[in-house]
Amino acid sequence: IYRTRMAIDDGGELIVLAPWVETFGEDDCIDLLIRKVGYVGTPEIMKAMENDDELKSNLSAVAHLIHGSSEGRFSVTYCPGKLTKEEVESVGYKYSDLEKMKQVYNIETLKDGWNTRTDEDGSEEEFYYISNPALGLWAHPSRFEEESDTSDAAQKHGDVAISSNQEASDGSGGVGGWKKPPRKPDCTE
């Protein structure tokens, strides 16, 4: 969420298509703390940390909770493949069905940057698509512009190459979360 904050207007909506997501946290401990506290904004998360020794001792969970919050500026609609509506809403996000949203926002035809789609009633919606938020939105705007010669799989922008067919590394589940968390620590430490 924190990587997209600067691209979203106050009152806007972030829609996250996350087919592989089955947990909120990178590991079982963080997942449990996220489900306990929710994405409630930095002030509430800091207050929760003051009053909860478990949260105090897991600052990576605190960071995750802060990074996952919209800070009340915009709504987050989460479309996971493996979490229920109840689970998603329990942490403070809106829920929408992944398959339904994939029909509305066909990722096979979208390009990074501004796109326009037309509803059945003829009204148009302009939206900004980010295929891989891990690249960061602090990138220079020219990195999202199309070049006339796109025959190379990786387009060169200044000194940074951005691949046109990005794939997540093994185990990460791609954009939007973990297929399988990398480790399962004992949460009682």
* Structure confidence by residue, pLDDT tens digits, 29-64: 999 999 999 999 999 999 999 999 999 999 999 999
pLDDT at 162: 40
Q: How confident is the model at residue 3 (pLDDT cuts 50, 70, 90)?
A: confident
Tell me the C-alpha distance between 17 and 101, whole Å.
8
CA dihedral 84, 166, 76, 140 (to 10 degrees): 170
Q: Which residue did the predictor score with more confidence, 3 or 83? A: 83
In sequence order, the β-bridge partners of residue 76 are 14
Say if residues 146 and 114 touch (Cβ distance below 8 Å).
no
Average predicted confidence (pLDDT) for the chain:
80
Say if residues 14 and 4 touch (Cβ distance below 8 Å).
yes
Indicate yes or no: pTM above 0.75. no
Highest mean pLDDT among 105-109, 139-143, 182-186: 105-109
Tell me the C-alpha distance between 188 and 137, whole Å.
37
* Phi-psi sector, 57: left (phi>0), alpha (psi -120 to 50), beta: alpha
Q: Is 126 a residue whose pLDDT tops 50?
A: yes
Q: Is 144 a residue whose pLDDT tops 80?
A: no
* Phi-psi sector, 168: left (phi>0), alpha (psi -120 to 50), beta: beta
Say if residues 20 and 76 touch (Cβ distance below 8 Å).
no
Q: Name every residue whose Cβ is closer than 8 Å to that of residue 147 and which is 6 or more positions away in sequence.
A: 155
Q: Which residue did the predictor score with more confidence, 156 or 56? A: 56
Instruction: Measure CA 10 to chain center.
Output: 17
